[in-house]
Structure 1
């Protein structure tokens, strides 16, 4: 008999905790609109816009960056590393297909500076920032 008397209060205690835990969350907002995502085609560059970012850049960390033309953006090659295809987001901003590298051109007072950010290893939560100045067209 004692076992059954202890079982009832234990079940009531568990049931009261379940209700208390669910009350910690706010009720769902049924009036909120559903979020949407808009996908657009790559930014189309004119020949003049592409020419404005192509050339050799001397980077702040000692690297040399060569920027050339590509169908949907540019091709960037740092020193003798493998070229990176960059897609135009605007006339001055380019992003690699995986999103790990971004380049923002035509910065500074003379519009001859570039800012590059990159993720060296996706296993790390690190993003490096390197600046560069146009050295040669």
Structure 2
């Protein structure tokens, strides 16, 4: 009788752990400073001036491979990106096609693929898992 009474709590615990593991892989990128104790030494990011023509090539709505919707709007020397209903992220232009947040946690590379309509986003999820997630997407609307 003892093994059967232990089987139910153990199975519930395993179910809870499995649901937590699945939830961690779907975290959005950090959009605000986190309370994390880290030390990083980097040179200041120098912005690249994005011309209006270059901005037109990357602005729009992107359908991401994991089901998210990314909306990209240009700004001077940066872009403003918003995923679904999350807060906006400002990414600084490193080149006409590559943008990064000031903390380096999110990187977006545009004008990829055969037709230049694909984008790759790499980010550190907001969960406590040490990981970098890479998502590919295509332009849904400009």
Question: 1:132 aligned to 2:137?
Answer: yes
Tell me what 1:101 maps to.
106
Q: Return the match for 1:89 from 90, 94, 118.
A: 94
Shift of 1:125: 1.9
Residues 1:55 and 1:41: Cα distance change in structure 2 (over 3 Å): same
Instruction: For structure 1, list consecutive stretches of 5 or more residues without a partner in the other structure.
Output: 1-36
Aligned equivalents of 2:45, 2:90: Cα separation in 1: 18
- Normalised to the residue count of structure 1, the TM-score between the two structures is 0.69
Q: Is 2:45–2:102's contact at 8 Å kept on the other side of the alignment?
A: no
Shift of 1:121: 3.1
Number of equivalences: 101
Matches within 5 A, 1:18-33: none
Which structure is richer in relative contact order (CA contacts within 8 A, separation 6 or more)?
2
Tell me what 2:115 maps to.
110
Question: 1:73 aligned to 2:78?
Answer: yes
Q: Is 1:53–1:106's contact at 8 Å kept on the other side of the alignment?
A: yes
Measured against aligned partners, the alpha-carbon deviations of 1:4-34 in whole angstroms (never above 9, x if no partner) come to xxxxxxxxxxxxxxxxxxxxxxxxxxxxxxx
Instruction: For structure 2, list consecutive stretches of 5 or more residues without a partner in the other structure.
Output: 1-41
Aligned equivalents of 1:121, 1:57: Cα separation in 2: 21
- Larger Rg over CA atoms: 1
CA RMSD, aligned part only? 1.6
